[in-house]
Amino acid sequence: MAALSIHHFRQAKQAGQPLVALTAADYATAQILDQAGIDLILVGDSLAMTNLGYTSTLPLTLEQMLHHAQAVRRGVERAFLVADLPFLTYQVHKEQALLSAGRLMKEAGVNGVKLEGGYPDMVETVAFLVQRGIPVLGHIGLTPQAKHQLGGYRQQGKNPPEAERLRQEALSLEQAGAFALVLEHMPAELAAQISAQAGIPTLGIGAGPACDGQILVTHDLLGLSERIPPFAKPYTNLRQAIREAVEAFANDVRQKVFPPR
Ligand code: KIV
């Protein structure tokens, strides 16, 4: 099974072939997603909430991200593997971003990194990483690491100046060399305009159907999250399935029917 390279993403956009991306934070999930043919697996910093129980992505450290990314790497053979740069491991200055991204590539073997924001300093950081051989997935719109600055997990780009800013950010990130862009929680019409203008593919999450692909948090897709955002679609209810299996096991043990005599 040939591993996907960065070229797959532009080719898919040119061919009008929708891209599929999901998050993983452990070996077993990564292996299942990879075997299901997902194009891009993201070790998202949402794992701070879904796997570690924090109330936001902000507390996640680079060491924690490395630990999860290493486990995911062991489960992935084909998909393009990207890890998020955790909060404050890349915003201080571009050299800090290079060192953090470099550790994720050297110590976890990821194929690229994602970072949030399209403001001028961050665009410069993206160019700095790309010039040094690090594939970068941009992320604009609702950027959860900025939740306190944004006033919560709110839809972005709702008024014309904000929408124009996001359009400009998308173009700047493309010019800086990002290979694809996550568009999170913005009006579908705006995401459609950005997707039409950009030469690189867009991966939407809560950004409507016109993006070049879709990305979801796997815990939301599987119905494992405690709270599922309104734009996500649970395709199953694993929370309930696991609870039922655990209760059935407990019942069998208490009734002395497992293990069989
Ligand atoms: O951390 C995350 O899960 C993300 C989403 C956009 C998928 O960044």
**pLDDT given at position 119:** 98
Instruction: Report the SS3 class of residue 226.
Output: coil
b/e per residue 25-61 (b: at least 16 CB within 10 A): bebebbbebbeeebbbbbbbbbbbbbbeebebbbebe
Closest ligand 1 atom to residue 184 Cα is 6
Which of 114, 183, 216 most suits a substitution to test ligand 1, by most atoms within 8 Å of the C-beta? 114
Closest ligand 1 atom to residue 215 Cα is 7
List phi, psi (to 5°) of 28.
-65, -45
What does the alpha-carbon distance between residue 202 and residue 141 come to, in Å, rounded to a whole number? 12
Any ligand 1 atom below 6 A from CB of 23: yes
Q: Is there a contact between 142 and 169 (Cβ–Cβ < 8 Å)?
A: no
Instruction: Report the SS3 class of residue 118.
Output: coil
More confident call, 174 vs 226: 174
Task: Give the pair of three-digit tokens for residue 234.
Answer: 């649970």
Closest ligand 1 atom to residue 57 Cα is 1
**pLDDT given at position 184:** 98
For the chain, the residue count is 261
Enter the pTM of the model. Answer: 0.98
Confidence of residue 40 (pLDDT cuts 50, 70, 90): very high
How many CB atoms sit inside 10 A of residue 255's CB?
A: 8
State the architecture of 7-254 in CATH terms: Alpha-Beta Barrel (3.20)
Confidence of residue 1 (pLDDT cuts 50, 70, 90): confident
Nearest C-alpha neighbor of 107 from the set 52, 61, 59, 67: 67
Map out the domains of the chain as residue ranges.
7-254
Instruction: Report the SS3 class of residue 140.
Output: strand
List phi, psi (to 5°) of 119.
-75, 160
**pLDDT given at position 191:** 98
Any ligand 1 atom below 6 A from CB of 215: yes
Q: What is the H or E stretch that residue 47 is in?
A: helix 47-50
Residues 146-171: pLDDT tens digits?
999 999 999 999 999 999 999 999 99
Distance 164 CA to ligand 1 centre (A): 23
Mean pLDDT of 199-218: 98
Mean pLDDT of 50-58: 98
- Percent pLDDT > 70 in the chain is 100
Distance 44 CA to ligand 1 centre (A): 5
Q: Is there a contact between 145 and 73 (Cβ–Cβ < 8 Å)?
A: no
Q: What is the mean pLDDT of the chain?
A: 98
User: Alpha-carbon torsion 24, 4, 110, 146, what sign?
Assistant: negative
Q: Is 164 a catalytic residue?
A: no
Burial class (CB in 10 A: 0-12, 13-18, 19+), 65: buried
Given 107, 116, 184, 244, which residue is catalytic?
Answer: 184
Confidence of residue 208 (pLDDT cuts 50, 70, 90): very high
